[in-house]
Amino acid sequence: MKKLSRYATSAGPRWMLDGQPLVASFTLAELLRQPASTLSDWLARRRDDAASGIQAQTVLPPIEPLQEVWASGVTYLRSRDARKAESSVADVYQKVYEAERPELFMKAVGWRVVTGGQPVRIRKDSQWNVPEPELTLVINTHGEIVGYTAGNDMSSRDIEGENPLYLPQAKIYTGACALGPEIVLVDAEAMRALTVTLEIRRNGAVVFSGETNIARMKRRLEELVSYLYRELDFPDGTFLMTGTGIVPPESFSLQPGDQVKISVGAVTLENDVA
Ligand code: DO4
Ligand code: MG
């Protein structure tokens, strides 16, 4: 399993493959312009065998500033039921769960994304907030799924529940999108039965934990990607969150200081809540 990660070094950001530096000119955008069939060979030629003494300092989000993060909604029964319960217009969620066209929305541009060890935020004007642990696809220019990472689609349930048209405010704000820390380079087949877990700690004690599996998702990963690529081109590739199958009970809301731990397959994303 190949893992891509990005670090701050004294010479600027540097991508690594399984902890070994790639050439300084390597960009994720260039990787995502390669067809999936040639990716392994192409990547092998990007190793920097001459690199020595590179001190990886802080881990950086595994995304470049101009790539976008899109998100899917209501792809699991649990998400549909939670939205129906919170919403003043419950039937929109029932309809989108059953419809042929999925719910897709833009979550963040790359420069807004945080990664493990950096804080996620809850909005000051919201009283009911949750993390959403989501398998996040890494997709190339040609619409092929080439990898995945862990994602947190932080959400304000009271704002979304008041009116579905407030969804962008419930979902898009500073510190609302966490990804990483690594990208696992595998095809969609390897993702079909990944386990997703969520654990929330407060003052050292676990206050919520949950688990689901990608096999429980109503839609196929390729179906979500094909709708996203219908009328949008992604010259640098893109990321797609695939929806949450874990929602804490209605009585639960995140608080500043909580610690959120999300695992998706082989990737574990940990953030404190600010
Ligand atoms: O429709 C609201 C958003 C749904 C969502 O983010 C999810 O199901 O994960
Ligand atoms: Mg979500």
pLDDT band at 49 (very low <50, low <70, confident <90, very high): confident
Q: Indicate if ligand 1 lies below 6 Å from the C-beta of 247.
A: no
Share of the chain above pLDDT 90, in %: 92
Same domain, 170 and 74: yes
List pLDDT tens digits, range 128-175: 999 999 999 999 999 999 999 999 999 999 999 999 999 999 999 999
pLDDT band at 57 (very low <50, low <70, confident <90, very high): confident
Helix (H) or strand (E) holding 207: strand 205-213
Q: Is the pLDDT confidence value at 52 over 80?
A: no
- Average pLDDT score over residue span 216-232: 98
Same domain, 55 and 130: no
Q: Is the pLDDT confidence value at 58 over 70?
A: yes
Q: What is the mean pLDDT of the chain?
A: 96
Phi-psi region of 243 (alpha: psi -120 to 50; beta: other; left: phi over 0): left
In the structure encoding, which two tokens stand for residue 53, read together? 């003494």
> Domain range for residue 19?
2-60
Query: What CATH number corresponds to the domain at position 128?
Result: 3.90.850.10
Q: Indicate if ligand 1 lies below 6 Å from the C-beta of 80.
A: no
Same domain, 44 and 162: no
Pocket probe mutation, ligand 1, options 132, 169, 217, 219, max atoms within 8 Å of Cβ: 132
Q: Indicate if ligand 1 lies below 6 Å from the C-beta of 243.
A: yes
Place of tokens 């994720």: 28
Q: What is the pLDDT of residue 53?
A: 67
The CA angle 28-32-188, to the nearest 5 degrees, is 115
54 CA → ligand 1 middle, Å: 40
Cβ 108 vs Cβ 176: under 8 Å = yes
Global confidence as pTM:
0.97
